[in-house]
Amino acid sequence: MSIAENQVAAGRGSARAVAILSSLGRFLVIAVTTYLGLLAVTFFIGRVIPIDPVLAVLGDRAPTAVVERTRREMGLDLPWIEQFYLYVKAALRGDFGTSVLTTNPVMSDIRRVFPATIELATLGTLIGAVIGVPLGVLAAVRRGSLIDQIARIIGLIGYSVPIFWLGLLGLVLFYAKLQWVAFPARLDVVYEYTFTPITGFYLLDSAMQGQWDVFYDAYRHIILPAALLGYFALAYISRMTRSFMLNELAQEYIVAARAKGLSETRIIWGHALRNAAVPMVTVIALSYASLLEGSVLTETVFSWPGIGLYITNSLTNADMNAVLGGTIIIGSVFIAINLLSDLLYRLLDPRTKVG
């Protein structure tokens, strides 16, 4: 669904409802086809990679007879098409099979690792948006000034420096040298076996249980990776904000507002930013969605047990059930966030308001 389509999708009363319904319908069709495509592509890639899945289950030392038996048990002796059919059938019931590595059902693994990623991505996006938007606005308003230059440099570094390198650098500085943040994990060893998570979001859980020492510890662990992700989100968000704002500030209504004698603050924050907010929502949502995919490198560097690390581990161990399950969940989240930002768009865009 493109931005243009949405902008055109204006209307009143029942015509508007029909438009929304039909665009929802189109959306569903797109979502379903995307799913099926995703399933098929991941499944077949999983089957053509030159790794014997039995090896993942048994290791290198199993006797030949055991290998043959396991191959039959896993259904790997069946034709591909039949394997795919069986897989889709089970997947539709919400059963993605069992992970070879963890021996748990894939769904329960994902329920365990996904909150870690969501927590990190949410905090990262928050940091990115809270700093990125004002920075972008300032850069646009004071175009060519020192702050604009700084914003540009921040953006350039964000686009060009590999995240794992910055992550390692951050670890060496803030963890090894300064001891400001805690070591790569979600909690200190002391807490890890005395604290019972409820939702899997440690900051939220510890606050809910009033365990403020755990909260502080979780914070010390999450802040560096979140700041790192936040930095990359910030680089993107501030650049986009700047260009949206420049675009708005050049519009005639700004001139009109100035002529009307409105204060500069009101013009910038009340009018220009409000109009720029519409495309900004998409930018922030997309950057959130991409962080939710699990920032594999960040999770690896910070030993963060999230979905990115889970899928990567599974992939290198040829644990295809886990890879497929994880991919499908991420695909769903991506599609859902797109839908959500679409809805937000309708709420924010004054042209789609019912008059």
Partner 1 sequence: MMLEKFAVRSLLAGVAMTALLATPAFAVTPADTLVEGFAIDDIISMDPGEAFELSTAEVTGNTYDLLVRLDLKDTSKVKPDLAESWTVSDDGLTYTFKLKPGMKFASGNPITAADVAYSFERAIKLDKSPAFIINQFGISGDNVTEKAKAVDDTTFQFVVDKAYAPSFVLNCLSATVASVVDAKLVKEHVAAVTPSADYKWDNDFGNAWLKTGYAGSGQYKLREWRANEAVVLERNDNYNGEKAKLARVIYRNMKESSAQRLALEAGDIDVARNLEPNDLDAIAKNADLTTTSAPKGTVYYISLNQKNPNLAKPEVRQAFKYLVDYDALSTTILKGIGEIHQSFLPKGDLGAIDDNPFKLDVAKAKELLAKAGLPDGFKVTMDVRVGQPTTGMAESIQQTLGQAGIKLEIIPGDGKQTLTKYRARNHDIYIGNWGQDYFDPNSNAQTFASNPDNSDAAKIKTLAWRNAWDIPDLTKETEAALLEKDSGKRADMYKDLQKKILDTSPFVIIHQQLEVAGLRKNLKGFALGPSFDTNFVGPVSKE
Q: Under rule CB under 8 A, which residues in 103-162 are in contact with partner 1? A: 103-104, 109, 127, 130-131, 134-135, 137-138, 141-142
Give the span between the Cα atoms of 21 and 222, in whole angstroms: 41
Contacting range for partner 1; rule: CB under 8 A; set: 36-44, 78-86, 246-254, 260-268: 260-268
Shortest reach from residue 223's CB to partner 1, in Å: 7
Shortest reach from residue 106's CB to partner 1, in Å: 12
Cα 267 to chain centroid distance, Å, stands at 33
Shorter beta-carbon distance to partner 1: residue 33 or 263 = 263
Which of the residues 74 through 103 are near partner 1 (CB under 8 A)? 99-103
Shortest reach from residue 142's CB to partner 1, in Å: 8
Residue that is written with structure tokens 């943040």 in the block: 181
Give the span between the Cα atoms of 248 and 254, in whole angstroms: 8
Residue type, 202: Y
Shorter beta-carbon distance to partner 1: residue 13 or 63 = 63
Shortest reach from residue 202's CB to partner 1, in Å: 14
Shortest reach from residue 180's CB to partner 1, in Å: 4
Task: Out of 9, 38, 39, 57, name the contact with partner 1 by CB under 8 A.
Answer: 57
Single out the residue of 277, 269, 285 nearest to residue 338, CA to CA: 285
Give the span between the Cα atoms of 118 and 203, in whole angstroms: 12
Shortest reach from residue 159's CB to partner 1, in Å: 20
Q: Is 45 in the site for partner 1 (CB under 8 A)?
A: no
Binding mask 24-43 toward partner 1 (x if CB under 8 A, else -) reads --------------------
On the CB side of 80, CA atoms within 13 Å amount to: 8
Which of the residues 209 through 248 are near partner 1 (CB under 8 A)? 216, 219-220, 223, 226-227, 230
Which of the residues 271 through 330 are near partner 1 (CB under 8 A)? 300-301, 303, 305, 309-310, 313, 316-318
E-strand ranges in 97-140 read: none
Q: Is 72 in the site for partner 1 (CB under 8 A)?
A: yes
Shorter beta-carbon distance to partner 1: residue 38 or 123 = 123
Start-to-end CA span in the chain (Å): 25
Written as six digits, the tokens of 124 are 């990262």
Shortest reach from residue 132's CB to partner 1, in Å: 8
Binding mask 182-211 toward partner 1 (x if CB under 8 A, else -) reads xxxx--xxx-xx------------------
DSSP lists the bridge partners of residue 346 as none
Shortest reach from residue 3's CB to partner 1, in Å: 27
On the CB side of 202, CA atoms within 13 Å amount to: 27
Shorter beta-carbon distance to partner 1: residue 85 or 269 = 269
Shortest reach from residue 176's CB to partner 1, in Å: 5
Contacting range for partner 1; rule: CB under 8 A; set: 170-178, 198-206, 243-251, 275-283: 170-178
Shorter beta-carbon distance to partner 1: residue 61 or 93 = 61
334 close to 53: Cβ distance less than 8 angstroms: no
Shorter beta-carbon distance to partner 1: residue 18 or 169 = 169
How far, in Å, are 70, 72, 281, 327, 328 from residue 95 at the CA level?
A: 20, 20, 34, 14, 12
Residue type, 40: A
Written as six digits, the tokens of 15 are 């015509």
Residue type, 314: S
CA dihedral sign, ordered 281, 284, 286, 292: negative
DSSP lists the bridge partners of residue 105 as 98
Give the span between the Cα atoms of 114 and 119, in whole angstroms: 9
